[in-house]
Structure 1
């Protein structure tokens, strides 16, 4: 399932770039393990080279009262009032795949940014920064295993 995403990078310095800045399509694929629990809440977001929050790419799970369990994302993005505009969807079931697409400024690629995925499942332990991968052209297409709930995560650049 492919969903267009309005990239919420309001906090990123990249928004200061001229209107003619180049962008690329970023497709994120997160395959969950068959962990035997309820649907997972996932927050997919970027941090800059200093580890500061740079924007939310997608949040799977619609009930805001559970966002506190996406601990790293919730802590880092708390001051970003626009963090959820156009970037939310349903939680992701065990064994299922979340695939989302966003337009991302070229300036973010190979510039020290990292993609993070926080995960939380009801009545199971939370997994902040379940995935943490550098956003590089060389890393595109390379799958990485998560710590608790993510079987594999990868991204593609077009």
Structure 2
């Protein structure tokens, strides 16, 4: 690569990084239905416009042997060695809610990304892609219904 071209490329990257690096907290709240079973395992994760895994936001349910039942998340995030670093907690009981906060780059909002939640309950049917919410300013604060175990999910941008 020629020296002038590499200098231009380096300068462009330095100018772009501050815009990409700015992040804001997002608070995600999932209200579970009274489904009458054991605590639910939930995986909240982010995908890009093509449906490819970007990162894990939170996993509720600490026993790794059950994570395979969060099938979409487990399949999509399999190559991410850090997918559980600092983002796990207890399972969520029937009728209860989960509230988590994560930092997301501002550049991801209104850029085709999606928040997804998978759900699984012991001795009950797994529910991959239980909720899918486009990460847009227009969707912030609007409850999105789940399919099986989740009553609703909302996210707030701060």
TM-score normalised per structure 1: 0.88
Q: Which residue matches 1:137?
A: 137
| 2:34 is the alignment partner of 1:34 | yes
The equivalent residue for 1:21 is 21
Q: 1:18 Cα shift?
A: 3.9
- Could you tell me whether the CA contact under 8 Å between 2:39 and 2:93 is conserved in 1? yes
Unaligned runs of 5+ in 2: 1-15
| Equivalent pairs, count | 143
Partner of 1:63: 63
Spell out the pairing of 1:96-135 with structure 2 (5 A cutoff). Answer: 96-135=96-135
Q: Residue 21 of structure 1: CA displacement?
A: 2.5
> Aligned residue for 1:72?
72
Structure 1 residue 24: Cα displacement:
1.2
List 4+ stretches of structure 1 deviating above 2 A.
16-21
Aligned to 1:8: none
Distance verdict in 2 for CA 1:155–1:20, change over 3 Å: closer
Corresponding residue for residue 156 of structure 1: 156
Which has the larger displacement, 19-28 or 117-126?
A: 19-28
Shift of residue 17, structure 1, vs aligned partner:
3.5
SS at match of 1:57: strand
Q: Which blocks of at least 5 consecutive residues in structure 1 are unaligned?
A: 1-15
Contact 2:20 2:107 (C-alpha < 8 Å) held by counterparts:
no
Q: Which has the higher helix share?
A: 2
- SS where residue 67 of structure 2 aligns? helix
Alignment of 1:39-54 (within 5 A): 39-54=39-54
2:130–2:148: 8 Å Cα contact kept in structure 1? yes
The 1:20–1:42 alpha-carbon spacing in structure 2 relative to 1, beyond 3 Å, is closer
Q: Which has the larger radius of gyration?
A: 2
Task: After superposition, give the CA deviation of every residue in 1:62-113 in whole Å (9 maximum; x if it has no partner).
Answer: 0000001000000000000000000000000000000000111001100000
